[in-house]
Amino acid sequence: MAKFMDVHSGFVGVTAQQLKEAHEADLAIEKDEGGHFERAWLDPIAGEVFCLASGTTRESIMRIHERAGHPTTEVYELPIEV
Amino acid sequence: MAKFMDVHSGFVGVTAQQLKEAHEADLAIEKDEGGHFERAWLDPIAGEVFCLASGTTRESIMRIHERAGHPTTEVYELPIEV
């Protein structure tokens, strides 16, 4: 499994509850696509969300988010970490 | 302590060893600024680096990276996470 970070913009003013619901929408379907969303972090002033996930391909990560209702094309594969 | 994600661009082709050295340069001075860099992830094809840190202010995070030789202004404060 590869690791990925994806970025969403435009989430200005989103609440903790709303982020939790969006994350749960990913979790509910991620197995279909062979991925897993581990964590998500939100800057509600800038409106940026960062999601850390594992999966088979960038496309699988994009499909999960798209099906869950919050698509993004900004998905980075992370073979190197410290 | 607040949590932050910062983003660096232009790290195309950077190796695991180079990322480790950059991270260690942050760790060596971070206490001066009251911050701590927890993890960093690299996409060496897109050249994007994501750093997860804790600290007092955005400015403290920016100062650590600037003093360590890899400045960025793209620093997000993350009061909400799942």
- List per-residue pLDDT tens for chain B, 82 residues long: 999 999 999 999 999 999 999 999 999 999 999 999 999 999 999 999 999 999 999 999 999 999 999 999 999 999 999 9
Q: What's the confidence (pLDDT) of residue A5?
A: 98
B41 contacts A6 by C-beta, under 8 angstroms: no
Interhelix angle for A16-29 vs A58-68, to 10°? 120
Tell me the whole-structure pTM to 2 decimals.
0.96
Distance, CA of A71 to CA of B71 (rounded, Å): 30
Q: What is the pLDDT of residues A55-75, one digit of tens each?
A: 999 999 999 999 999 999 999
B74 touches chain A (CB under 8 A): no
Closest CA to B81 of A38, A13, A7, A19: A19
Nearest CA in chain B to A41: B81
User: Please, which pLDDT band fits residue A43 given cuts at 50, 70 and 90?
Assistant: very high
B42 touches chain A (CB under 8 A): yes
